[in-house]
Amino acid sequence: MISEDDAADAALLADLRGVLGDRARDNDFERGLYSRDGSIEGSPPAIVCLPESAAEVARIVRVCRRHSRPFLARGSGTGLAGGAVPVGRPVVIATAKMDRIIEVDIDNRVAWVEPGVLNLDLSRALTPQGFHFAPDPSSQQVCSIGGNIANNSGGPHCLAYGVTTAHIAALEVVLPSGDTAILGGVEAEPAGFDLRGLFVGSEGTMGIATKAAVRLTPNAPAVRTLLLDFDDVSEGSAAVSAIIAAGLVPSALEMMDKRAIEIVEAFAHAGYPTGAAAVLLVELDGLPGGVDAGVEIVREVALKHHVGHVRVAADDEERALLWKGRKNAFGAVARIKPDYYLHDTVVPRSKLTEVLEKVYRIADAYGLIAVNVFHAGDGNLHPILAFDRREPGVDERVKAAGRDIVAASIEAGGVLSGEHGIGLEKRDYMGMLFSAHDMYTQDVVRETFDPDGLANPLKIIPTGSRCSDSFHQHVPEGAWV
C-alpha cells in the first residue's frame, strides 16, 4: 500500500532530482542524520537536498512551493535550540557544499562568502592579510557562516566586538517566494528599512542566505590572556562585575565552575586548576602598552576578590591551549554523562551569583548534574544539564529544569536567549517575556516575508499567536526534549 504521504514524497523527490540529480536524498539512514542538530531530539525530513549554488537553492525553494512543502536550511548542524530540526516532513536544504570564499576585498574590509564556509576557516584564510571574522562561537571550528547569520551567533569575543549582525554588511538571500534579493550593502547603508538587520537572527523563517558580505576585523597587535582561579563562585562573579566597573572592556571574559574545569582539563591538559571553585578566563587585546596596563588592573581587581592565582599565558601556544579547553567544554560533558542539554539565557551581570545558585538548586531538585561555562562578561549564562537519555523519565526532568532556569533568569531581569536563538527549544517560552501583542507583531513581520508559512515553520513564534493562520500543526511528540 502506498500512502498519500509516500506518493506526495515521491512526486516531490522526482522534481528535486530534476534540480539536483543524486544530490536529493531519501535513504532512511541518511534522512535520519538530518533529523537533529546539536540539540537533543528531532524527526527526519522527507528529503535532504545538497545544493552547490545559490541558483540551485532558489530552484529547490520553488519546487517546495509548488508542492506546498515546508523547507529549512541547515549549515553544520551544531545549533543548540533546534532551529534546524525538521518539523512536519519538510525538505532540508543543507548548505555545507556551498563553501567558497568568493572574494576578499581588503579595501572595503569585507569578504563575500557562501553560507557553508566554516567560521574558523574564514578567519584562518584571512590570517595572511592580518584580519579575522570577529564572532567566534565555541563551535567556531565547525559552525558555518550561514548558521551564524540565522542565529545572530555570539561567542567569547563578542563582548568587545559585538555579535554577528555587527559583522554582516550585506546578504544575498533566496526569499520564501523563490526570488533572490540583496539586503544591505557593502559601502553605505542603503536607504529604507534595515532589512539586513531584520534577516540576521531570523533563523531561516524569512528565507535562506546564499551569500554574505562579512566585515573583516583587524587582528589586534597584542593579546594577553589571564586565568584567574577562585575558591568561591560568588567571588569570581563579583570579580567579573568589578573588572567591567574598573573601566575595562576585555575582548573576552569567561567563567567556568568546578565541574567544567575538571572535564575541560581532562580533555585539553591546559593546566586548568582542578579543585578551584571557579576560574575566569580574561582576554585583553589592543596596543602592547594598553594591554599590559590592563593586565595590572585585572590583577588588582582580582586580588581584592581573593583570587587564588593569576596566570598570564606566556605565549600564543599557551593561549591557544587555554581556549581549546574552553571551546570544547560542551562536547567534553560526555565525560560525565552521554547527553547534555545546554541552556542559553542572559541575566544582568550583577545578578550572576544569585542566578547561578538558583541553577544549582534547580538541577539538584530534578536529580540532574549542572555544569556552568559561560560568557560572564555580558551575563550570558550557559548552564549545561548532563544526563543519560536511557534513564526512564529523564526527558521530562530535563525539560522541567530547563523551564525553571529560564524562569529564574527572566525573574532576575534577564532574557530568553543570548546567542543560540529561539528555534523550537524556547518557542513556547516566548510568552514569559513577550506580550501577546508583541508576538502578534513579530508574526506579522514574518508573514510579510513568508505568507504561506513554508520557511522553517513552527519555529520562534509559538502556535496560537494568530487567530487564523497556517500554524495549526503541532510539534510531534519528542521533537525536542
Partner 1 sequence: MSSSDSFPLQLDIDSDTLASCVACGMCLPHCPTYRVTGEESASPRGRIAMMRDAAERGEADAAFVEFMDACIQCRGCETACPAGVHYGHMMEATREALASQTSYQPRLRRLAYRALGMPRLLGFGSRLLGLSQRLGLIRLLSLLGRARPFRQLGAMTASLPRVPVRQAPLTASGDDVWLFTGCVMDAWMRDTHRAVQAVIEATGAGVALPPAEATCCGSLHLHAGLASDTRRLAHRVMAALPGEAPILIDSAGCGATMKEYGHLLGTEEAHQFAGRVQDVHEWLAERIDDLPEGAATSPDADGPSASDAMASDATPRERVAVQDPCHLRHVQQAHLPVRAVLGRYVEIAELDDEGLCCGAGGAYSQQHPEVAGAVRERKLAAIERTGVSVVASANPGCTLHLRAVGLDVRHPLEIVAEHLDGGTQA
Nearest approach, Cβ of residue 84 and partner 1 (Å): 11
Q: Which is nearer to partner 1, 125 or 249 (CB)?
A: 125
Nearest approach, Cβ of residue 335 and partner 1 (Å): 6
Nearest approach, Cβ of residue 10 and partner 1 (Å): 9
Nearest approach, Cβ of residue 312 and partner 1 (Å): 25
Radius of gyration of the chain (CA): 23
Nearest approach, Cβ of residue 20 and partner 1 (Å): 13
Residues whose CB falls within 8 Å of the CB of residue 14, separated by 6 or more in sequence, listed in order: none
Q: Which is nearer to partner 1, 35 or 463 (CB)?
A: 35
Q: Which is nearer to partner 1, 36 or 397 (CB)?
A: 36
Nearest approach, Cβ of residue 409 and partner 1 (Å): 23
Q: Are the C-beta atoms of 81 and 417 separated by less than 8 Å?
A: yes
Q: Which is nearer to partner 1, 95 or 465 (CB)?
A: 95
Nearest approach, Cβ of residue 214 and partner 1 (Å): 18
Q: Are the C-beta atoms of 379 and 414 separated by less than 8 Å?
A: yes
Q: Are the C-beta atoms of 175 and 449 separated by less than 8 Å?
A: yes
Q: Which is nearer to partner 1, 52 or 452 (CB)?
A: 52
Residue 464 and residue 414: Cα distance in Å, rounded? 25
Q: Are the C-beta atoms of 376 and 352 separated by less than 8 Å?
A: yes
Q: Which is nearer to partner 1, 200 or 373 (CB)?
A: 373
Point out which residues bind partner 1 (CB under 8 A). 6, 9, 26-30, 32-34, 36, 38, 50, 76-78, 94, 96-97, 99, 116, 118, 120-121, 124, 139, 141-143, 267, 328-335, 338-340, 388-390
3-state secondary structure 312-360: ECCCHHHHHHHHHHHHCHHHHHHHCCCEEEECCEECCHHHHHHHHHHHH
Q: Which is nearer to partner 1, 136 or 235 (CB)?
A: 136
Q: Which long-range contacts (CB under 8 A, 24 or more apart) does 385-393 make?
A: 385/340, 385/341, 385/342, 385/343, 386/333, 386/336, 386/337, 386/339, 386/340, 387/337, 387/339, 387/340, 387/341, 388/337, 388/338, 388/339, 389/40, 389/338, 389/339, 390/338
